[in-house]
Chain A
Amino acid sequence: MRGTALARFAANRAAVVAAGVLVTVTAAAVLAPWLAPHDPLAVDLMNTLAPPSAAHPLGTDHLGRDTLSRLLFGARVSLGIAVTSIGAALVLGVGLGLLAAWHRGLVDAAFVRVMDVLLAFPDLLLAIAVVTILGRSQASTIVAVVVFSLPTLARVTRAAALGAVAHDFVLAARAAGASSRWILARHVLPACLTPIVAQATVMLGSAILLASGLSFLGLGVQPPDPEWGAMLSRGRDMLRAAPLGAVAPGVAITIVALSFSIAGDGLRDALDPKG
C-alpha cells in the first residue's frame, strides 16, 4: 500500500517538482547561516536600494541589507510560522473533529455551530483582531493562522471521521468493548488521514499568504525579522524604484505556496485508495 502510494506520487510529475522545490527551500532555510552571503540584519546606509551586483546578487533593501540573505533567512521565518501554526491547528482541529464525530449528539451539534460561526466570521478580519489583541509578534501571527485554519481542518477531520466511525471494524471494536481512545487512535484516525494530510499541506501555503496579508496591513511579524510577507510589504513602496526588493519575496511566496498546493493535491491523489 505504502509502496504503491509512493509510486503513484512519483508518477505525478507536477507533484514531484513541487516536492523538490519544497525540499530545496527547506534545505535553504536550514542552511541559511552558511548559504547567506551577508548578515541579514546588517544595516548599511551607504548602500541602500542597490541594484544586483556580485556582492549583492539580488541587490539591497531600503536599509542597505542584502536581499538574498534576507530571503534565505526569511525562508526560516515564513516556513517556521507556516509549519508551527498548521501543526498546532492540525493537533487542535483533528482532536476537535474526532471528538465531534465520535460523540455525535450535543457535542457534535455544538462543534458544528462553533465552526459555522468561525467560518462565517470574515477570516482576515479575525486574524487582524487576534494580532491587534495579542500585539504584533511572530507568536501572534501564529495564533492568527491557527484561528484561521482551525475550522477548515476540524471540519475536514469530522467529515472523514463520520465515515470511518460507521465502518464495520469500528463498530466491531466498539462492540468488543475497546476503549474510545484506542479505537480513535488505531482505527478512526488512520482511516481519515488522507484528506487531513492533503488539506494541511495545501494550508501551509495559505498560512504563508495570510502572514503576508497581515504584513501588508502593518500587522505582521516584528522587524527586523526577514519574514517574506514583511519584505514584500516593505518592498512594494519601492516597487518602481527598486523592483527586486519586492519581486524577490513575491516570487518566493508564490512558488512556495504553489508548491504546497500541488504537492498537497499530489498527496491526496497518491494516498486516496480510490485513485
Chain B
Amino acid sequence: MGDDVTAVRAGAALVLAALAAACSGAPPSPGGLRDTLIFSAPADATTLDPHNTTDTESDQVIQMVFETLIGFDDDMRIVGRLAERWEVADDGVTWTFHLRPGVTFHDGTPFDADAVRRNFARVLDPDQRHKRFQLFEMIDRVEVVDPETVRLITAYPFGAFEPTMAHISAAIVSPAVAERFGAAFGTTAEATAGTGPYRVAAWRKDQEITLERVDDHWRGTPPTRRIIYRPIAENAARVMALEAGDVDVISRVPPPDMRRMEQAGHVTVLRTASIGAQQFRFNVTKPPFHDPRVRRAIAHAVDRRAIVDTLLAGFATPSTSALTPIMRGYANLGEIPYDLARARALLREAGYPNGFRTKIATTPRYPMGVELAEVLASQLKQIGIEAPIEVYDWGTMVQFWQGLPPEKNPQEIFIMGAGASTADADWGLRPIFQSAPTNENNYGYYSNAEFDRVIQAAMRETDADARQALYRRAQEIVYLEDPGAIWLFDNYYLVATRTAVEGVTPSALGTVTFTRATVRD
C-alpha cells in the first residue's frame, strides 16, 4: 500500500492490476478476439451533447465519440488531439491552435477552424445557456485565421486555460448536425456526431448504447469493433453479471466486492487515483461552525485511516489536501492526525468543553454516503458532539445547494463529493470556496478574505511556479487554518473486468477508455 501511495503522490495516475492466474496464461491468438465489448455502469447517459452535460455516465460515452482540441493522456498530461500544436502569445490571452488536417466528423462534415468557431459560438451563446456555459466564460472571442488555424482570445490571462480546454465539454461536435438538431443534439444516435474513434450506431434508452469503431481513425483503428454500454442500476446485479460473464467490464464496484474479487482472482480489478474526493462540508454561517477552532476540532476527531481500511476496503487514500494528488496545483499538506485530545482542547478553547448538538445531512447518491454519515456521527460522539443523520434523496439535497441565502438554509454539516473535472486547482477551489452572496457553488458560504485574494491572484497567474505557490497558500488556508470541510479521503476510480479483457484504461476523471481494449474468446 505504501508504495502506491507514494506513486500517487508523485502525481501519476497509477493503474494497479491485480491479475488472476488465468491472466498470465497463453497470449491471445490473432483470431481469438471478440468483436464486441460490453461495459456496465449504474446508469444510462442522459445526453451525448458534451456542451450540455454534467454527469459522469454521459461523459463516459462522450469521451469515446468526441474529441477536444487538446486532451489528457493516461497520466493526465496535456497532449494534442484535434490540435497538433498550440501556443499562447506573450499577452497571455491569445491562444493559437494548429488543427489536424484531414479529419472529418462522423456525418462527413469536414473538421476545420470554422467548425471550432461554430462550436464555441454554440457553447457561449447566452440564449442557449448550455450546462457548461460557465466553464468557458473567460473566452472572449474566437478567430478563424485559416482553415487549419484558429485563435481563442480570453478576456484575461487565465492560468487554467489548458486544462479547461482539455475538459471533455470543450469537445468539438459536428456543427452541421448540431445546427440541424438544435436543442435535441445528442439526444439520439442520429443527432450525435463527433470525430472520435467510435461513432454512435444505436441508442436505446436505459437499455444500451452501441458504439461502432471508425476505421482508419487518425489515432489508428481500435482493435474491438463494437463497444456496448449497458446500464445496470443494481450494484449486486452488476457484479453478478460480470462474474457470470454476461458483461465484460463494470464500473462503480462496491469496495467489499472489489476486495473479494481481488482475492478470488477470477476477475481483473483496476483502480486509478482520481480527481474525486469525499468530504463533509460545514455551513460556516451556522454557529458554532463560524469558529475555525470548532471545525479544526472536528477534523481531528475523524479517523480517516479506519474509514478507508474498513468501509472502503482499502480502495481509497486519506486526504492530504483540499485537492487530490493528481490535480494541477496540489500541495501535499499531510493527513490531518486523528487526535481526540487535540480535538477536545480545541473545542474547549472555542467554548464548547462538553460539545454541542448539530446534524449531518447526506444522500445515498454518493457511494457509501449514508454509511459515512453514520461513521462520522459515531466519531463526533467521542468529543461530545451529538449529530443525528438526515438522509435526503438527491433532488431534495441539491435544493439546499442552489442559490439559497444562508438564513434559508437549514443544513449544518453536509456530505459533498468533490471532483473538479478540469483536474486543476482553479476549478477545484475557486467556485467552491470563494466568497459569494449566495451558495450557488460555495454551498457552505465559506468566506476568507485572504483566500479570496490568493485565489484571484492565482487565477490570473500564468507563471507555473508562482501559480503553484499561490495555490499552496490557498490550500493551507482552506484545508488547515480555516477548514472549509472535513476532508476524508481521495477516491480511487474502480473498474473490474473479466480476465479475458485487456487494454482497458480507467482515467482519473472517472471514465474508462476502450480504444485499445481487446476481449479474448
Chain B residue contacts of A209, Cβ below 8 A: none
A48 pairs with B311, CB closer than 8 A: yes
Nearest B residue to A136 via CB reads B391
Bound CA span A41–B375, Å: 11
A218 pairs with B260, CB closer than 8 A: no
B374 pairs with A241, CB closer than 8 A: no
A135 contacts the other chain (CB 8 A) = yes
B310 pairs with A64, CB closer than 8 A: yes
A237 contacts the other chain (CB 8 A) = yes
Given contacts A62-B311, A63-B311, A223-B370, contact A49 B391 (CB under 8 A): no
Chain A residue contacts of B235, Cβ below 8 A: 236-237
Against B, the Cβ 8 Å flags (1 = close, 0 = not) of A180-205 are: 00000000000000000000000000
B260 pairs with A43, CB closer than 8 A: no
Within 8 A of A (CB), among B359-381: 364, 370-371, 373-375, 377-378
Chain B residue contacts of A2, Cβ below 8 A: none
B87 contacts the other chain (CB 8 A) = no
Number of residues of chain A lying within 8 A (CB) of chain B: 25
Say which residue of A63, A135, A237 sits within 8 Å of B256 (CB atoms): A237
CB distance from A128 to the nearest CB of B (A): 9
B395 pairs with A132, CB closer than 8 A: yes
B311 pairs with A239, CB closer than 8 A: no
Against B, the Cβ 8 Å flags (1 = close, 0 = not) of A30-67 are: 00000000000101011011000000000000111000
CB distance from A213 to the nearest CB of B (A): 13
B311 pairs with A222, CB closer than 8 A: no
Nearest B residue to A128 via CB reads B393
A219 contacts the other chain (CB 8 A) = yes
CB distance from A182 to the nearest CB of B (A): 48
B16 contacts the other chain (CB 8 A) = no
A240 contacts the other chain (CB 8 A) = yes
A240 pairs with B236, CB closer than 8 A: yes
Given contacts A43-B375, A43-B378, contact A236 B396 (CB under 8 A): no
CB distance from A18 to the nearest CB of B (A): 30
B306 contacts the other chain (CB 8 A) = yes
Within 8 A of B (CB), among A197-229: 218-219, 222-224
Chain A residue contacts of B256, Cβ below 8 A: 49, 62, 237-238, 241-242
Of the four ranges (under 10, 10 to 19, 20 to 34, 35 or more), the interface on chain B belongs to 20 to 34
CB distance from A76 to the nearest CB of B (A): 18
Given contacts A62-B256, A218-B364, A237-B256, contact A135 B373 (CB under 8 A): no
Bound CA span A130–B371, Å: 24
B179 contacts the other chain (CB 8 A) = no
Bound CA span A48–B364, Å: 20
CB distance from B386 to the nearest CB of A (A): 13
Given contacts A45-B310, A240-B236, contact A222 B391 (CB under 8 A): yes
CB distance from B200 to the nearest CB of A (A): 30
Chain A residue contacts of B392, Cβ below 8 A: 135-136
B34 contacts the other chain (CB 8 A) = no
B310 pairs with A48, CB closer than 8 A: yes
Say which residue of A62, A135, A222 sits within 8 Å of B389 (CB atoms): A222
CB distance from B235 to the nearest CB of A (A): 5
Nearest A residue to B363 via CB reads A218
Chain A residue contacts of B375, Cβ below 8 A: 43, 45, 63
B73 contacts the other chain (CB 8 A) = no
Bound CA span A239–B391, Å: 23
Say which residue of B239, B257, B390 sits within 8 Å of A222 (CB atoms): B390
CB distance from A235 to the nearest CB of B (A): 10
Nearest A residue to B381 via CB reads A43
A240 pairs with B393, CB closer than 8 A: no
B259 contacts the other chain (CB 8 A) = yes
CB distance from A227 to the nearest CB of B (A): 12
CB distance from A241 to the nearest CB of B (A): 4
Chain B residue contacts of A238, Cβ below 8 A: 254, 256-257
B165 contacts the other chain (CB 8 A) = no
Against A, the Cβ 8 Å flags (1 = close, 0 = not) of B246-260 are: 000000001011011
Against A, the Cβ 8 Å flags (1 = close, 0 = not) of B396-423 are: 1000000000000000000000000000
Bound CA span A63–B235, Å: 19
Against B, the Cβ 8 Å flags (1 = close, 0 = not) of A4-21 are: 000000000000000000
Bound CA span A236–B233, Å: 13
A240 pairs with B260, CB closer than 8 A: yes
Bound CA span A122–B388, Å: 33
Say which residue of A223, A239, A242 sits within 8 Å of B373 (CB atoms): A223
CB distance from A124 to the nearest CB of B (A): 15
CB distance from B391 to the nearest CB of A (A): 5
B236 pairs with A239, CB closer than 8 A: yes
Chain A residue contacts of B390, Cβ below 8 A: 135-136, 222
Bound CA span A136–B257, Å: 28
Say which residue of A63, A135, A218, A236 sits within 8 Å of B371 (CB atoms): A63
B389 pairs with A223, CB closer than 8 A: yes
Bound CA span A239–B389, Å: 25
Say which residue of A45, A62, A241, A242 sits within 8 Å of B303 (CB atoms): A45
Chain A residue contacts of B377, Cβ below 8 A: 224
B15 contacts the other chain (CB 8 A) = no
Bound CA span A238–B370, Å: 15
Bound CA span A218–B233, Å: 13
Sampled A-B contacts (15; CB under 8 Å): A45-B303, A45-B309, A45-B375, A48-B310, A63-B371, A135-B392, A136-B390, A136-B391, A222-B389, A234-B370, A237-B236, A237-B256, A238-B254, A240-B260, A241-B257
Task: Known pairs A132-B395, A223-B391; list 5 more (Cβ under 8 Å).
Answer: A62-B310, A132-B393, A222-B390, A236-B236, A240-B260
The 3 tightest CB contacts between A and B, nearest first, are: A241-B256, A43-B378, A218-B364
